[in-house]
Chain A
Amino acid sequence: MNDLLNIKIISIIALLWVIPIKAKEIKKDSIHAFDSLNYWEECDICGCSGNGGSMGYGTLLNNDFLGLRYITQQYRSLDGIYNNSPWIDENFNTIQAWAQFKLSEKVSLNAIIPYHFHNRDFENGETQTISGLGDISLLAFYKIISPKMEGWLPEQNPIFKHSLSLGGGLKAPTGVYNRENNQGSVNPGFQVGTGSWDFILASDYSVTYKTWGAGAMANYTIKNENKASYQFGNQLNYGITIFKNINTNSMLGFTPSLGISGEVFEENKSYGQVVQDTKGNILFGKLGLETAYNRFSLGLNLMLPISQNLNSGNVEAVHRLGVHLNYNLF
């Protein structure tokens, strides 16, 4: 069954790449504050070892960039199977280097290299820490609907623009998966990697009207069995964001945003057998602020759960916070 699914995904990815690529370089002379709104927030319940994010992989009117991002996530997790079992606090921290390069006007590549450092405090006072390189992801996006080009004259600038990108990619098992961390009834996501080659399908739509914009994204990650015969459940991420671009002058811009995003997890498997209490879903409300100055952009994102049922209620997300600094290459 999985094989069949995998074949389908590979075909889709392959198809995307067969589409001829025009090596036409178009120079952008202005910084688009919108650009960085639908960043792929590489973050989820699986201790950031999973992939896929709640904010989308794609970008609007995208520039090429290099950046760094710090993400901190707090969870509470039930250590045991009973109502009166102790709750433990878990902190997931990630620093990631990320980049986006345009291969052509239609095709772009995204890469994310994460480094994780997680810890959790057990009731007996013990603290468990894991850290290390996470799973590196590479994605290719193809722009199905491109925004109309701007002309030199102000009246040539379209007021309404929209863009749709579809993409696919791979998450490589560069993070160390440790089966020991999956024992017990505590959050099975306490890992720096899934240990498996996983496939990602992504879509991203954005629309802007004057200084307002909205984005919708959905992505799906197919996770495979790793060498330790553990398989994390497939994962769907989706989200909607609205934003407004406020330019104080030609050099400095602010873009506040507001949205919701959700994650749906299927059950994990161990030696081909379902692991109880591993599926779940969560809906976040998110607030963001992006500032652009010259070639730099600085962003802050806060996500707070609106509703959740993770691991049969045995895991609770408290909040997520992300800060990033990007340097636009063109």
Chain B
Amino acid sequence: MTNSFKTLIFLSLLIVTACDTDDETESLSGENRLTLEFDNSFSGDDLLLETSSYTNANGETLSIARFNYIVSNFMLIDENGEEFRYPKDESYFIISEENGLTEVILENIPAGNYIALRFGLGVDQEKYQQGAEGQGDFLEIAEENEMMWSWQAGYKFLNFEGSFTSESNSEQTDFKIHTGSHGSSLDNYKEVQVNFPSDAVVSADLSPLVHFEVDASSILTGTHKIKLSEKAVIMVDEEKSPKIAENALEMFSVHHIHNGTGGHH
């Protein structure tokens, strides 16, 4: 036998060993955590407080000082359309750019291939009706993050502040946008469903991260055009705050999913 043949046999063996490692798709089991990263941005740029300015579609140039909001009532939807509702009492979180709160960790999620997430922006009436006692720690956390008017007036669902200039306002003018449900008289709690660009796979070993791109420009220039030059402080406004609440749902999209064992950026 020549050396050439020996080489060939060796190579053939390599191929044979290479292809017997075919893996089967195992069924997923167990439970794990799922992390939601709310990465705040403005029209494709990273949102930086105070230091950057952003021009919106209304021709206004904004410097943003505060961008806080409440996310709640998470429900995961898997590839079969099955829904998993996260325990309601543990389902209220604050995202705050200034305080570095950008992550929500959902614990004990059952194994599955999840394709979408439904959640609310703000606090629903059912929760609010439980009274101050029923809010648990969340009341205090909301106060610390400037997300309460007062107990009677209720939670601020969105707290978006800064200053702006426009054609009619050449001087830096402060703006404040605080939306909420204003007690129970005006219900601005709304839910949104976001689809994932690839499955988020949860199992005993796998703990995915859902990386949201949250575009703050939608607040003023989403479906409804809200001009700061018309009104720069919007708090209890029966006309504009429901529109802002609708616009704000458009902020959320999922940029990508990190599937893995939990390490991420």
Which A residues lie at the B interface, using CB under 8 A?
A: 3, 6-7, 10, 13-14, 17, 21, 23, 80-85, 103-104, 107, 109, 138, 140, 170, 172, 179-180, 183-185, 197, 225, 270-277
Contact = CB atoms under 8 A, between A and B. Distances in A.
Contact of A103 (B7, B14, B21, B201): B7
Interface in B24-55: 25, 39, 41, 44-46, 52
Main secondary structure of the interface of A (DSSP, over half): loop
Nearest to A173: B18
Given A6-B19, A10-B15, A276 B260 contact: no
Interface stretch (B97-105, B117-125, B164-172, B251-259): B251-259
- Give the most central of A6, A81, A82, A138: most B CB within 10 Å: A82
25 contacts: A6-B19, A10-B19, A14-B12, A21-B5, A81-B39, A81-B211, A81-B213, A84-B52, A104-B4, A107-B4, A138-B11, A140-B11, A170-B14, A179-B260, A183-B263, A270-B258, A270-B260, A271-B259, A271-B260, A273-B199, A273-B201, A273-B259, A274-B197, A274-B198, A276-B255
Given A17-B8, A104-B4, A183 B264 contact: yes
B255 to A, nearest CB: 5
A123 to B, nearest CB: 12
Contact of B201 (A6, A21, A271): A271
Given A272-B25, A273-B201, A170 B18 contact: yes
B97 to A, nearest CB: 14
Contacts of A6: 19
B260 A183 contact: yes
Given A17-B8, A82-B41, A275 B256 contact: yes
Interface string B109-151: 0000000000000000000000000000000000000000000
B45 A276 contact: no
Interface string B225-265: 00000000000000000000000000000011111100111
B2 interface: yes
A109 B9 CA distance: 13
Contacts of B18: 170, 172, 197
B82 interface: no
A21 B201 CA distance: 50
Given A3-B22, A140-B8, A270-B258, 12 more contacts: A7-B19, A21-B5, A81-B256, A83-B44, A85-B46, A138-B14, A172-B18, A180-B263, A183-B264, A184-B265, A197-B19, A273-B198
B206 interface: yes
B264 A170 contact: no
Interface of B: 2, 4-5, 7-8, 11-12, 14-15, 18-19, 21-23, 25, 39, 41, 44-46, 52, 197-199, 201, 206, 211, 213, 255-260, 263-265
Contacts of B25: 272
B206 A82 contact: no
A197 to B, nearest CB: 4
Contacts of B258: 183, 270
Contact of A23 (B2, B22, B256, B263): B2
A31 to B, nearest CB: 24
B242 to A, nearest CB: 30
Nearest to A230: B260
Contacts of B197: 274, 276
A270 B200 CA distance: 11
B7 A83 contact: no
Contacts of A81: 39, 211, 213, 255-256
Contacts of B11: 17, 138, 140, 170
Contacts of A82: 41, 44-46
Contacts of A276: 197-198, 255-257
B206 A271 contact: yes
Contacts of B263: 179-180, 183
Contact of A84 (B8, B45, B199, B256): B45
A82 B19 CA distance: 40
Nearest to A82: B46
B45 to A, nearest CB: 5
B45 A83 contact: yes
Nearest to B18: A197
A39 B63 CA distance: 56
Nearest to A17: B8
Contacts of B201: 271-273
A315 to B, nearest CB: 15
Contacts of B5: 21
- 3 tightest Cβ-Cβ pairs between the two chains A and B: A197-B18, A184-B265, A82-B46
Contacts of A84: 45-46, 52
A306 to B, nearest CB: 27
Contacts of A172: 14, 18
Nearest to B259: A271
Contacts of B255: 81, 276
B264 A275 contact: no
Nearest to A171: B18
B46 A23 contact: no
- Give the most central of A10, A83, A271: most B CB within 10 Å: A271
